[in-house]
Structure 1
Amino acid sequence: MLFKASGLYYELDRYDKYLATTTKIQQLAIESRDTAHLAKSLYFIGDYYERELQIDSAFKYYSKAERLYKKIDDALNSGRTILYKAGILYDAGIFTESEMLTAQALEFLNTTENERLVYEGYNLMALNLKELNDYKNSLRYFNLALKKLDLLEQKKYNPTKLIKSRASIYNNMGGLYEKAGSYNEAIKLYERGLASERIKESHPRLYAMLLNHLASALLKKGGNDEKIEALLLESLEIRKDHKIEEGIVSSKISIGEFYLQKKQTCKGIEYIRQGYELAKKINSSYDSKNALKLLSENDGTDKGPYDSLYMKITDSLYTLERNTRNKFARIAYETNQVEKKNAFLSRRNRNITVGAACIILILGTSFIIYRLRSKNKELLFIKKQKESNEKIYQLILGQRSETDRVRLEERNRIAMELHDGIVNRIFTTRFNLMLLQSEQSNRKEELVQELIAAETEIRKVSHDLQHNLLFEDDSFQKTLTTLVAAQQNEFSTVFDLSIDKYIDWSLVSSEKKIHVYRIIQEAIQNINKYARAKKAEIILLKTGNKITLRILDDGIGFNLDKARNGIGLKNIRQRTHVLKGECTIDSKNEHGTRLEIVFQGTGPNGNRIASDSEGL
């Protein structure tokens, strides 16, 4: 009776009464040790907190209910609670963990006859895989979800709910194709969703979403501008009429993007500003971030403040995501701990078994700690060895630089001796010979010409002694060539190295060479691991008094926001900072990656690289 009462309170939007009644059921179930009713009450309380958007509390109560349902072997409700937990993680943007929970839920639900929950599981799995860029498997699960809807239709399931579910699937599949760049397929699916029976009247929120997405796909494909504008404005009006605030934000930003693309910058910026203000009002961080990004890229008057706000909200979203992920992990852990404690108390009379378990646990923990310490020592040893190798390499380069310096000084000294000593003496002899009276005038002329030739040859040798040294320091170039030539990976990436011949590496300090080498090494390692590239280029150019390093690949790219705090990128930026250079990284999914670093090409004494147009 109490469960029926709580259900009526929920349908009447009396949520305070609903929570009070369900909490009372929970207490009665605890007192009577009724596991089934206790699990159901916890599940109902989870529903309340999910509706109130208190997702951490909802996740906690679903976890408690899940544990109890598993204890009594209730596959249907175990699958249901796990699926709802997966939905919470998806909404929080934690897609990998959501995918794993959805798979667990489907294992339970596929053993039941509840086709509706299986459909929801397939749909959620497809959405997770879409966000994880696994397009092939995402499409497979969307098709499985459609088959479940066909089965539900045969079983005379609620027609209104079926219409909404089909339209939702078409919308989600359209989003998949749009993300994959198949705009024609996306357009067909959005139009199919819009053609659903009475979708506009019965589900205006979904209808407006389909309109907005159809306009987006047409815009990317290059469709009729008037049609796109009409679709966007119609979607906005529907959302305004039904006071769908998050939808209004999305429409404002979409319309703004449309006008920006059509070079109506002022109009576009105005719509995006309106969207941003409303996003702030409803605390939509994701939409605020998108709006700020567009404003910082297109609003020349206020670019600085928007850039600052965009960076601030990006950092806050990253922190929020990390904290949310940690919060859910902590809830799951604490729920497990409570269950373990209860199990321990229920078996307190079995002291021998518990004691043995504790001993095994202690030994296992000790072994793990021992292994972790050994691993830490190994890592520290590897780190120290790496540092020692760098120092040795730096010393070798330093010694080589010193040798080159001494050799340069000696060559310059010899050149000066040739030029200032021998050439002057030959010149004096030739001049005196010309003044000397001689009857053999022909022989005298031959001797003069021979001295002129010797003088020219010595000047040439003196000049070449200084000139040729500029191109002798090729040891660092050979080191880079060896590094690049040794690269192989499972994607058969072709690596190409190009080094400007006018870079004088003898004027670049050993420390800078090491950092350049390590940056290239780190970038190549990332390409080998993640890029799946067919071709990668490493280019070193002399640009004025600076050296430009470019590393490009045609791989799958990566999300800069998610990878910003990765160890590899941190190392590259730190080394660039030591070089006192500037680092630019440009990467998009499926469009490759471009890394460019520009730094001053000077030696330890600050000497600039000589230009190829200067005299020696």
Structure 2
Amino acid sequence: MKEKKNVDAGLIWKTLNAIAINYDDWNKSDSALLYHKKVFNYFKGNDTLKIGSTYNNIGNTLLKKKKYKEAKHWLTTGLRISELRSSDESAKKGNRFFYEKATLYTNLATIESELNNFSEAEKLFVKAHHFATNSMSAEKLRDLYWQRAKFFTKSKKYKLAIEDHEKYIKLRDSVFDVKRAETFAELEAKYQTEKKEKELLKVKTKVAERENEIKRKNTQFVILSLIVAGLLIIGYLIYRQQKLKNKQQKQEFELKSAIAKIETQNELQEQRLQISRDLHDNIGSQLTFIISSVDNIKYAFDITNSRLDNKLSGISDFAKSTIVELRDTIWAMNKSEITFEDLQIRIHNFIEKAKIAKTDINFNFTVDYQLKECKFSSVEGMNIYRTIQEAINNSMKYANSKTISIDIKPNQDDIEILISDDGLGFKIDEVLLGNGIANMRKRISDVNGLFYIQSNENQGTKIKITIPKKCKKA
């Protein structure tokens, strides 16, 4: 009696599984899940080890519904069941073992890719490829290449994505041709079976012949229905495959466009590097020659004219200052983007040089650690650096200050830069602001920032700059 119960449970499981799979194919995922889970009414405890494919099917349906964490739970359970069942070495020799493992690892890798766990996804795809290759199943390899192409696209490995996409297209077309041939063969087999049954029925009595005639007509109706259904299914498959092909061609075009964009950016970077090398080799060497020539003139001749001596010294200092600015420009051009850490180091180096030139001034420079991941374009970074440099220079030249402070910190969606001194100050309403202030305003305006200046006599000067924050979120 117990054996009869087990047989009935097995038949019920197969029936519920078939119904659920049909619902899944019709994109009725809720109904598919309902019938899959009904299986657990007949299998409890250790008996669930016999229905590992049910866990896999539920996980696959949840994956289609994009419920990734829930799908991962079911698929992981299915994988554990598969490992327990395949502990026997003889089980590992069959294609079914590799087919099941290929399905599980492909789905688990897809989930990790969708959850942006790229490192884990890549490991799982390696296992999926091993099992798919050994399963001798073109369908499993096709599914692997499709999911892995999407993963490589998402992780910006475009060359690998294109290779997997091309492999997928070849396998997809071959699998479709095989399935179509199998569908027609199945219909033909059913037709031949029915035909033989009709021939056997002819030898029976006239009464039986009459009954068989009725059955024959019914059979013809069923066959016609099957043929029509088969044709409809084939038509639907062709339509769906064409739709998928169009979608894949669009994705392939987007991939090629992305690759072209990267190549263009690389060409622009090469051009920037070439220009920076030309600036360094040509203009830099020419400025160095001017400095050397002026110094040689001063030391070679006994110059008694103080105005001439001062003029030559001014030319030398101007050339040296120009070389410093040229180096800053080359530094910016050599980078497609400037991190705040790069900018901080550049400002720190400038302040160290300023300390040497003005030993009587105390400099305070602080940067909030949260800004470490912020980035700017090379033009934006240079504008911010030049503005801070100009503000410090103004304080050193005109303010007669003892302390200059530079404080940089985040403020909601902005970065706030405060440059202050304790110098002489001035009345903003009574003083005509020079080109230096105007240039600073223009530079900050070009990076979509705001520039404020506040000063009073004998109360020092404060310059406040706010710029949009472009940082990675923690």
Shorter-chain TM-score: what band? 0.3 to 0.5
* Greater relative contact order, per chain length (Cα 8 Å cut-off, separation 6+): 2
TM-score (norm 2): 0.43
TM-score (norm 1): 0.35
Q: Which has the larger radius of gyration?
A: 2
